[in-house]
Amino acid sequence: MNIKTPNWVKDAVFYQIFPDRFAKGKPSKNYPNHWQSSNLQSWEKPPTLQKYKGGNFWGVIDKLDYLQDLGINAIYFTPVFQSTCNHRYHTHDYYQIDPLLGGNNAFFEFLKQAHQRNIKVVLDGVFNHVGRGFFFFNDILENGPHSPWLDWFKITKWPVSAYNGSHPANYESWVNNRALPQFNHSNPHVKEYIMEVAEYWLNQGIDGWRLDVPNEVTEDGFWQEFRTRVKAINPEAYIVGEIWTDARQWLDGTQFDGVMNYLFTSPTMAFCGGDRIIRKYVEEPYYFPYPAIKAEEYQQKIEELLNLYDWEINLTQLNLLASHDTARLLTIAGNDRKTVELCTLLLLTFPGAPSIYYGDEVGLPGGFDPDSRRGFPEEQLWDKNLLNYHKKLIKLRHQYPALRQGQYKVLYAQQDIYIFSRNLDNQNIIIAINSDLQSQTITIDSDYHISNILFGDGSFSCEDDQEKISITVTLNDRSGLVLI
């Protein structure tokens, strides 16, 4: 099969934004009727499960200069539609941007300004379940068995109990959470409704969909039709699924362009962090960045991952180190910044689209939800060295096509040293990682000369005795080098 994926994703650096917590701005004077709450939690306080901080799209507009300076050219938002929770996975209306985020006017103004800067925008499609306030389900709560929308959901018996936990819910919901009634996807009207929502927002100009728990939608042909209809509107639209494990079932070229690549996340953290990984923060969810592994096992896991999928798919995977569903990398690593740096170096030199969870680039900590969803910090609290580290690597990725689309080849993997190359046409780049507490010097054979250090701490020499080329690299403790 000739698999086709969006070209722009291969060159993208994503930034994941949890909208309630990234930035809070004032509405444009052109939109004076902006709804605003007076009952918000202060920005700097630890977040809670239910309180809102009031981040909005006006704030994201104000941060576009920051994002562009960082090197971001794509944004993935967690849900933004009208909902009754701060994470907005309890959708009430798929056609309305949540009023606390500024409503549709704020979103369209943001979308226009993002596109003027060549920044792509991907929205979260929560198409497996809804909130109890979703009109069609709310009608069932009001009218019981007389509702015309019964077959939109899976009602098992009466009475339905949507709020009183002392009674059975009597309808199917996601992970038995009665706040999240599950669609009946076998109903053709439900299917058509979801397809039309996806089409509507693509016609408004968004650049793709991230699909929440798409493995829960098991209706035959559903995601194949979704892809057909999405690509009919925009062949370059990105479809990325939230699949935490082996995703071959969905990455056959007929459904998704990529998935959130936790199969990259876990070995990368286990190799770079080793025994520093704090187990209590990673035992749930199930992506297993432990136990500590050495370079040999890291090579095995990475090569297995790259061999799972077509190369075209590998180039459009969404690679990440943390998300709204995990603790933050800095906290997972016991506040060890070197672990964050090494993981980030591997993230930004790996095939696929890197995704940075808002605030990770400035050292924002956070444990389990809701702590991993803190407000983006004031500038005086930023780790400026970590921010500059991200900026330099992102700039390199944009500058050198080999780091984005070049073939990946492991050159050396023993104990704490991992060396690989990215090669495209005549551009040959070597990335060397030392996760040891001691500096290390390694000599490897090479097919090409190395002339410069592009990034990192250490040194190198290159010798050519006419029969072979050898490269010797000296790596400082727990650091990396990028050579060309």
84-93 per-position pLDDT tens digit: 999 999 999 9
**In contact, 264 and 352? CB cutoff 8 Å:** yes
Q: Can you tell me the distance from the alpha carbon of 406 to that of 311, in angstroms, rounded to the nearest whole number?
A: 11
What is the DSSP-derived secondary structure letter of residue 373?
G
Report whether 132 contacts 181 (CB < 8 A).
yes
The pTM of this model reads 0.97
Taking residue 70's Cβ as centre, other Cβ atoms within 10 Å add up to 19
| Domain(s) of CATH 2.60.40.1180: residues in the chain | 406-483
Rounded-to-integer distance, Cα 279 and Cα 28, Å: 46
Q: Tell me what pLDDT residue 36 has.
A: 73
Q: Is the separation of the CB atoms in 441 and 473 below 8 Å? A: yes
Q: CA 261, CA 251: separation in Å to the nearest integer?
A: 12
What is the DSSP secondary-structure string of 9-78? GGG--EEEE-HHHH---PPPTT-TT----S----TTSPP-SS------HHHHHHTHHHHHHHT--EEEES
Residues of the chain with CATH 3.20.20.80: 8-128+183-399
Q: At what angle do helices 188-203 and 222-233 cross, to 10 degrees?
A: 30
Is the CATH number of domain 406-483 3.40.50.10680? no
Q: Round to whole Å and give the CA distance between 136 and 155.
A: 13
For CA atoms 190, 191, 192, 193, the dihedral sign is: positive
d(CA 313, CA 259): 9
**Cβ contact 277:332 at 8 Å:** yes
Task: Write out the H or E segment, with its range, that includes residue 203.
Answer: helix 188-203
Residue 34 pLDDT? 61
Active site residues: 212, 242
Residue 257 structure tokens = 């362009």
Nearest to 333 by CA among 289, 297, 386: 289
pLDDT of the chain, 484 residues: tens digit per residue: 789 999 999 999 999 999 999 999 988 777 765 667 889 999 999 999 999 999 999 999 999 999 999 999 999 999 999 999 999 999 999 999 999 999 999 999 999 999 999 999 999 999 999 999 999 999 999 999 999 999 999 999 999 999 999 999 999 999 999 999 999 999 999 999 999 999 999 999 999 999 999 999 999 999 999 999 999 999 999 999 999 999 999 999 999 999 999 999 999 999 999 999 999 999 887 788 999 999 999 999 999 999 999 999 999 999 999 999 999 999 999 999 999 999 999 999 999 999 999 999 999 999 999 999 999 999 999 999 999 999 999 999 999 999 999 999 999 999 999 999 999 999 999 999 999 999 999 999 988 889 999 999 899 999 888 778 999 999 999 999 999 9
Domain spanning 8-128+183-399, CATH class = alpha beta
Residue 188 carries which side chain, given as an amino acid letter?
P
Phi (first) and psi of residue 453, to 5 degrees = -95, 125
137/129 Cα distance (integer angstroms): 11
CB-count burial class (<10 Å; 0-12, 13-18, 19+) for 35? exposed
